[in-house]
Structures are given as C-alpha cells and as structure tokens.
Structure 1
Amino acid sequence: MIPFAPFEPDRTRYAIDASTAQINAIPVKDGWGPLPDLVPVSQALNAPCLGAWSVRKQDGTYRIIAATATDIFEMSAIDYSWAVISGPSAPYAVPVGDRWSATKFGQLLILCNLGGPAQYLDVDVGTEFADLPGSPPWARYCATIGEYLALGYIAGHPNRFMLSGIGDAGFWTLGQRGCDLQDFADGEEIMNIQGGERGAILSHRTAFTEIALTAGGDYSFTTRVINPSRGVFAPLSVVPIGPGNFVYYAQDGFFMGVAGQPIGAERVDMWFQELADSQYLNQVRGYPDPFRKIAWFQAQGVTGEKFLLGYHWQLDRWCFADNNVSEMCIMATPGITWDGIEALFPDWDSADIPWDSALLSGGALRFAAFTTDNRLGFFTGEPRAARLTTADVQLSTNSRSFVQQARAVADCPDFTLTAITSDKHGGARTEGQPVPPYPATGVCHFRSSALLHAFRMEIPQGTDWKHAIGIDPVARPEGRR
C-alpha cells in the first residue's frame, strides 16, 4: 500500500513518508479525516469583524459579542441579527491592520486597541460597553494575570508592560495597590501576553520574557528573560496549546514554546514562504481548534486569496485548507430552532446542517469563523471537497510497472482516482483521467505504464467519510524503458 503520508511540501515528492499535496483533510491517527465546511448562521455585520468572543454568564448562558473597527455588537439568539452595544466613545477607531484584544476579568469583558480607551462590559447585567475607569493608557494587548489586569504595547511605548491595581481593573495610579509598569530595554516591541494565575509570558519581537507576580514588597512583579534570541514576528500568530505552551510564526518559520522548538523546518516553512505574500507575513493570524487539537494559521497568498495552514499539536502533523475566512474564534453555538433554520435558509432543501450538528444544541463551544461577507459560522457542516495525493513511487524494483487496478483504503463511498506518471526521476509528470470505483468491488481500473506512479484521490463535497489511509495498487513489472 502507498500511504497518504503527512503533509510536508518541503520534502521531495519521492519520499513515501511525505506528501506534497493534501487539501481539505485533517490529520487523524490512522491517516486523514474530513474537514467540515463552515456553516454561516448569523446575519452579516456591517463591516469586517476584528474580534469575536462568547462570554459565559453566571447562570450558564452565553452572550456572543463581535467588534468591528468602529462598533461592538451582540448577536440575537432569536433571529441571529447584531445589535449595537458600543459605549459612549464610539465610533471607535481601530488602527488599520490592528484588531481588538480581549480578556475576561471576573465577570467583566475587557476589550482594548491602540485607537482609543479600553472598553468593559459586565457580562451578567451590562447592556452596553463603557470606558474602563481609572484612565488606563491605550494599549494593543490585554490579559488577566492573577488578580491584575495587564496591558502591553502601550500607545507611544511599544515595549511597555503595565499592571492595574490588585483586584481592580479600574485602578491605574502608579505606586499604589500594586499598579506598576516596566519598559523593556531588550527584545523590542511586545507582541503577545499569555496570562496565568501566578504570572505571564511576554512575547517580544526578538525575545521571550517571564513575568512573575510577587507577594508584597516594593514591586508587584519581577521579570526574567527566558529566551534572548527567539521571538514572534507575527503578533497575532501566537496560539496557546496548553499551560505555558504555544506555537507561533517567527521570521524564519513556525516554532513551539519559549525554547523555539522548530515544527515547520524541512516540512512546511519554505513552502509557506513561497505561497504567502511576503508583504503580509507579519499579519499571519493563528487560532486554536481545541476540539480537533489543530492550530490554524491564516495567511494571504500571492494571488490575494487567503488560506489556512493547520498544525495538529498532538500528532505533530500539518494540514492545508483553501478556506477564505475573515476572523476565527471559539464560540458558543446559539442553538438553532426549527424557526431559526427557516430564518437562515430559503427552504428546507437548502439546509445543509447535519441533524446531529452541535448547532442544534445551544451552548456547545465550537471552532467558528466569519465569512468574507461578515457572517458568523461554525465548522459543523458537511465535509469539504478533499484531495489526497501519494508520493511518486517505483512499484517494481529496477523496472517500469504496468498498473492494472488500484483500491482506495478508505471508508469513502464516492471518489475518483487519478494516476500520475513519469518515466524517470525528475521527468515530466503526466496525469491520467479520473477513474471512479467499480460499484461491485470498489476497485478503480487502469492501463498505466510508467517508471513512477502517484495517485490522487478526490472526494466530492458532502461525501460521508471518516478515514482515508492510502492506495493499494495492482501492477506487473515491465522492462527498464
């Protein structure tokens, strides 16, 4: 059997344990599985989303919040429309290329960006956002660290880090109640804050710093550089994957953790550099799908279309999807009723939501995204059209092969196989015609003579399948020419 190997396009196409072309399939333990399609559920925002969150109230229900460059909205659970809940400082002015940063501080949802004052909402009883009290500085990033609200990349001071007073997100008088700041001489600008109960990790452009909270004394925190030679190039690419661990995009590729363990070298780094538009590499964005254990990185290609590159952190494997989405997020499903389905689709035949979908039960947290027309959707739909390709393999030792048939080792009922042949290593590759399986046996019949054979399996949109492992060809040896 020729396996559908891990997606590692930096490798040679002759390596049987690597594949240079897999699209819209995700890694599973025994090969590859389907990538669910994005199902839009909301009405459209009036502008591109620059941040979205689901926040849990104390009664166990969720509120769905989204923000644009000028306003903040809440989604209705009845007709999935968006109501403006902006504060008195609106319309906001998020800088071009920037996004909202958010953190939950107790029952307060706090949002910030460099273009105006930080905003807050009591998620239990609040009806609209307001300016955060205490006149905190404008900042690009916010996080909760123990009992402090932390701000990083302060307007006019990109290397500055600041804590509020202890237990009070609205107290910003320096020197009192633990409110303090630090300007970092090394590492350049702050790119990300990952907060925890006892401290945080600051990602700089060229370094990583550990923040440790102190118990009393003259300082509320201490700092320690934990990696002086590795940092984050794309600030929005940092994806938490566990306590104290994360993956990110640096100037020379993809890495894991503060130690800078390479995860993309000799696998996807060079391919990514060639596919992505170099002008927008610092805008690469990452977001975790914790249910499938995949960190998705979105980039803009040289054609102008966006794509997704995924890293499965438990299986240590990569995948690729051609979804062109705008904003990604983890969102509580709204719970679509029968009336809600009628509100979303023109007729029942158009409703492509599986009946066991999490969309039909509200409150389930799922990986979500906004479409290019600004509608919130969930990756809970039917499987996307997928394409899986094997390596170029010499099936007969020291000779050509004549392939008579091939069987897909997969539980997929609907697909085609295409034989891709070449007469020598480094020679031109020729693609045959797609061949469907014979209904009675599931075998695809070929008459293909070549030195090297690869097989491409194409699975149509909406096909019900779970696993695709590889191709089992039947071939007989031929001569050397």
Structure 2
Amino acid sequence: MSLIQFAQFGPDRSDFDPNYTSTLENVLPAADSFLPFPGFTPLTNALPGRPQGTFLAVQGNGVWLPIAATGNALYKLNFTTLGWDNISELEADIILTGDFAADVNWTKDALVTISAGKAHFTAVANTNGLSQTLALTAGVTYKVSFTVSSYSAGAITPTLTGGTPVAGTTVNANGTYAMHIIAATGNTAFKFIASSGPTTLNIDDVKVEPLAQYGTPAANRWSFTQFGDWVVATNGVDPIVYFDLADPTAVFVQLSPDAPRARNIDTVGDFIFTSFLDTLGDKAAQWSGLNAPQHWEPRKRSADFQVFPDDGEIMGTASFEDGIVVFHEHCIREGTLDLATPLIFRFQKTVEQHGTHARNSIISTGGGTFYLSQDGFYKYATPNPIKIGVERVDRFFFDDCDFNETYYIYGFEDPARACVYWAYRSVENQNDQTFDRLLAYNYGIDRWSLIKPDTILTAICDSVTPGYTLELLDNVGNLDDLPFSLDSRAWSGSLPVFAAFDDDYRLGFFSGDPVAARLQTADIALSEGRRTYVKGFRPLTDATTTSGRVATKDFPGQPRNWKQSANNSTVTGLIPTIASGQMHRFELSIPAGQNWTHVHGVEPEGQPEGHR
C-alpha cells in the first residue's frame, strides 16, 4: 500500500480531511516531514522570584547579555556563577558617617578605634568588631561596599545582625569590595565581625545601599527596549529606568523625572516610544526627544505625545525602520516618522474593529508581526491582516486555553527555526501564571504543531550561554553529566536560541534529547468502497524504536475502535496489528530520549476485503 503522509496540524478541520490531523504532538513542522522537539534542560541557578519579563541585550563588543525581571527586582545573568546579579536601582545610603570623618554613630568593640578618617582594627578578637544600628527590611537586598587598607592579619565578615544573622563575603586582603546581602527577619544592625584569629586592618568608605523594590503587579510584565548601549525598562507603575551596557559595574537608574510611567516601551529610529501612560491614559503614547532619550518635555527637541480618541487601550507595539505599529484592543494604527514636519509621527488607523486583548501575544520577527486577536491568530498586514489560524487551530486554542488566562498568553520567536510560539496555560493545568502548552507556527511554510513541554514553564525567551570552551565546561559539571550534548548550539554563546524558565525559575534551553512525540493520520479509506484488512504498518522515520496503534471504523459516524498498541519489529520495522474496517487511523509514538531527525508517515501492510 502507498505511503500515508502525516498531515499538518489542523484540529479545527474535519476528521475526514486527509490533509489535516487533530493529533500532532511534540514535533516541529518541516516542508515534507516533521522534526523532533528537544527537551528542556535547566542551566542557571534559580531567579529569586517568578520571571515577569526578560530581555536579551547586545553589548558593543557583540556579546549578548540576558536580563530578567521579577515583580520587585531586575537582574543580569552572571556567566561565571550562573546566578543572577541584582542590578536594580540603588537607593540612598543608610549608613551614617561611613567616611569616619568623626567618631560618631558606630559601636566599637574592644581594640576598635576611629581616627584620621578610618576605623582601625588592632588585634581584634574573633566575633568582636564594629557595628551600627539600622532600619533594615526583611527580603530587601542591600549593596554593601567598603575599602580595606593596612591589612596585616585576620579577616572581617560584613554581617546583618539581629534575628537570623546574614553574612556577606569574608575579606582578608587590601582592596575595595562590594557585595549584596539580603536581609532576614529580625536584622537590626550592620557589623564588621573579626574572624580567623586576631584581626588588624583599617576600614573606610562604608556604604549600605538598599536596592529598589519595584512594585510590578502580579498580572503585569516588564517591557524592555535597547537604545544604543542602554537597556530601558518599564513596568507601568514605577519610573522608567535604564542600564548602561558599557559600564560593567552599572545598575539600573531612573531615566528621567520627566518621563511618563508607561506599560509599553519601544525604540523607533532615534526615539524611545512609550504607550499606555499613567497620566495621559491607556490610549496615549509619548516619545522622547530626537536622539535624546532623557528629554521628555513635549514640543521641544521633537519630543511629544498623542492621545488617541477611541478603540480601547493600547495593548502593545511593534516597531519597524521608519515607524511603529500600535495595537489597540479594537483597532490597529501605524505611526510613520515624519521628521520634515512638526508632527514627528503621522498616525493612521490601518485596521478597523480588530485588535488584540492579549498584549504579550505580539511577536515581531523578520518574517512579520504575529498576534492573537479576539477571534484567532493573525499576521499583521494592511489593509487586511492575514488569518493564519482560521479553520486550523483557532477553535482548538480557545477550547484548550484556560479562558481566564488568555490575557496572559505569551508569544516569542525561535530565531533558529523560523518559528513563533505562543505559550499558554491549558484547562488541565492547575498552576496559576504558568505555561504547559506551546502552540508553534512555522511562518516559513505556514504550518502549525502543538508542543507539550516536559516541564511546566513560567516564561519563554531568547537567551545565550557565555560560549563555553572545554575548559570552562568544568564549571558546569563533568562531561558525563553535562545538560546538553557537546555539539548543542546552547554551548556556542554566539547566537540567541530559544529558551525558557521552568517552575523553579531556572533559565534553560530546549537543547536536550527529543521529548516523546505522537502523530496521527486522518480517518482514511484505504480501499475505495471496500473494507481493508491491515496486519501492520511501517513508519517512515529514522527513529530506531517506535510504537503505534490503529483505529478502525465501519462507517464515518462510528466511534473509533482502537487496537492494542505494539512496538516496531527490530528486524523489519513493522508495527504489527490486526485491524479490519472501512476506515483506518494510524498513530505513531516515538519515545523520549531517542535521537532521530525526521518522520514522514506510515506505510500500511494489508489487503482489501469484501464489501459490507
């Protein structure tokens, strides 16, 4: 019998349409076949909280830097420790007389003195030291910095004391130091504690600076953009902040006291463009001065604002070379740069009575801009957006997605595979604000598939590793226990790859062994007008081990009668069965952990029977 190709994913179509199938799990569509979807493997330590925004910045030397946000802090990935360094905005120093200009505010234990602008430890015994009472808040990260000079013996450990003490890094050499310490319940003071025998050294320039605690609502995500060497971030409730990639010691700082508090942010040419504003409203946009990201006074240096009169709040934006697409709830507008006139941006409504209610579903790629509208998935085009999900996946998605979670659906591009993914919480998932499904769309060949990851996800993103050599891999683990194979793109660090955070908030990559795949054909009449007896089928795939089963019907409206599943023969590749009927549906399963590259379809083995 002839080869039956596995059809493309289209659960909205009829079961009798041979060009579509309702079951296509954990494979990626290719031109004439399907590819394995790799498993998720965590790489980093856990982010301190649920990820509420990610960004992949490119530094001036071409090196990528992953940035992640929680509700109350901003972090960058430390490629050495694989931990997350808090780079939130620093607030005012809470230490008094940290320069030791006077002998006040400090409590000195035996053999600790203050004079000549320094604190002096002279053979100070273990556990003694120098302290100051502070108003500390549990859970807040404090940046502790100081200078050690005239060191000759012992060591000091900066510590938050009271309640459960929290120690910083022990220091036993001259130098200027900085470290982060997270306060615990009951901490009421800061103390330099002598250790490692009698300690002799001088201390100066002490600072204890709280890192900002941002107030991002649980339902919000941070929005990021890059403007030159600056990463600019906003969460809709706190002042806009920026991070200078050119400064290795930088933290986020406020962009400008004149900048609005905005839900969305983008870069258009030499402007920073914000929308959904605290003062002008959720239908308003405001942009910075021309090549002046810290200038926001309207009608000066080309800075200005626009309040749109109708069509709901601004849900998000997608910039292009000379302008920006503005997605409202009920319409879409384009703003085109018009620097030759005082208007700066010329706005035009391009799509009427159609927008998006899922702000994080908007995906801007080299292949177009994609989004979820109220009735399904689209690719943006004028005058009529292209329906990419209609009569294929739209009804399936709205049935499978938890209705209360459609607002939180999150879209992202897989740059290596010309795919976009929408992560969502299905009706089967009981965990709030997590994703257990990925709806994948290959925009190069206009085909869909459904991914059920091997772990619950809390965010999807692009990311990179530092670009490991064999020597640097020792920091990750021995060669037998590495999370990815040595030839995985995840180790290269040169190009972004599709990544995610799991439910333990660890960043990882989809670069593991393939997850278990399952594919079905449509209900097919193998012999026109006659029953067919099938004694087995051979899958056309380079997977070594497979299993499968067959369902039969004697007429289209009859429920499917699934036969027992069986493994393929290691000699012939045949999956045996006994299946007689007017119509047949074939299911193939490829187990997890097996290396394979393509699956095309199945070739039934059997013969026609009599009429019925």
Query: Which category describes the TM-score, using the shorter chain as reference length?
Result: over 0.9
Deviation at 1:428, TM superposition (A): 1.8
Residue aligning to 2:224 = 102
Q: Which amino acid aligns with 2:373?
A: A
Whether 2:388 is the aligned partner of 1:263: answer yes
What are the Cα deviations for residues 177-198 of structure 1, in whole angstroms up to 9, with x where unaligned?
Answer: 0110000012211111112332
Unmatched tracts of structure 2, length 5 or more: 92-211, 431-435
Residue aligning to 2:452 = 322
Deviation at 1:290, TM superposition (A): 2.0
Q: How far apart, CA to CA, are the structure 2 residues paired with 1:329 and 1:392?
A: 37
Residue aligning to 2:341 = 217
Q: Which amino acid aligns with 1:228?
A: E
Q: Is the 8 A contact 1:395 1:475 kept in 2?
A: no
Residue aligning to 1:69 = 71
Residue aligning to 1:119 = 241
**What secondary structure, in the 3-state scheme, does the structure 2 residue paired with 1:270 have?**
helix
Which protein shows a greater Rg? 2
Q: How far apart, CA to CA, are the structure 1 residues paired with 2:403 and 2:472?
A: 42
Residue aligning to 2:363 = 239
> Which residue, out of 301, 304, 308, partners 2:429?
304
Q: Is the 8 A contact 1:148 1:166 kept in 2?
A: yes
Deviation at 1:479, TM superposition (A): 2.9
Residue aligning to 2:595 = 464
Q: Is the 8 A contact 2:549 2:563 kept in 1?
A: yes
Q: How far apart, CA to CA, are the structure 2 residues paired with 1:341 and 1:450?
A: 56
Q: How far apart, CA to CA, are the structure 1 residues paired with 2:351 and 2:528?
A: 50
Give the number of equivalent residue pairs. Answer: 479
> Which residue, out of 529, 544, 554, partners 1:398?
529
Further displaced range: 43-52 or 350-359? 350-359
Q: Which amino acid aligns with 2:489?
A: A
Q: Is the 8 A contact 1:23 1:320 kept in 2?
A: yes
Q: Which amino acid aligns with 1:268?
A: V
Q: Is the 8 A contact 2:490 2:511 kept in 1?
A: yes
For residues 86-101 of structure 1, what are the structure 2 equivalents within 5 Å?
86-88=88-90, 90-101=212-223
Structure 1 residues 340 and 45, CA gap change in structure 2 (3 angstroms): farther
Q: How far apart, CA to CA, are the structure 2 residues paired with 1:448 and 1:59?
A: 63
Unmatched tracts of structure 1, length 5 or more: none
Residue aligning to 1:151 = 274
Q: How far apart, CA to CA, are the structure 2 residues paired with 1:99 and 1:255?
A: 22
Residue aligning to 2:354 = 230
What are the Cα deviations for residues 88-147 of structure 1, in whole angstroms up to 9, with x where unaligned?
Answer: 362101122110101100110000111201110111115211111243110001111111
> Which residue, out of 372, 376, 382, partners 2:503?
372
Q: How far apart, CA to CA, are the structure 1 residues paired with 2:603 and 2:241?
A: 59
Structure 1 residues 372 and 336, CA gap change in structure 2 (3 angstroms): farther
Deviation at 1:219, TM superposition (A): 2.3
**CA RMSD after TM alignment:** 1.7
Whether 2:402 is the aligned partner of 1:277: answer yes
**What secondary structure, in the 3-state scheme, does the structure 1 residue paired with 2:396 have?**
helix
Q: How far apart, CA to CA, are the structure 2 residues paired with 1:450 and 1:360?
A: 51
Q: Is the 8 A contact 1:230 1:260 kept in 2?
A: no
What are the Cα deviations for residues 180-218 of structure 1, in whole angstroms up to 9, with x where unaligned?
Answer: 000001221111111233211111111111112222433
Residue aligning to 2:31 = 29
Q: How far apart, CA to CA, are the structure 2 residues paired with 1:288 and 1:281?
A: 19
Deviation at 1:348, TM superposition (A): 5.0
> Which residue, out of 183, 188, 196, partners 2:320?
196
Q: Is the 8 A contact 2:464 2:490 kept in 1?
A: no
- TM-score normalised by length of structure 1: 0.96
> Which residue, out of 132, 141, 144, partners 2:255?
132
**What secondary structure, in the 3-state scheme, does the structure 2 residue paired with 1:97 have?**
coil
Residue aligning to 2:5 = 3
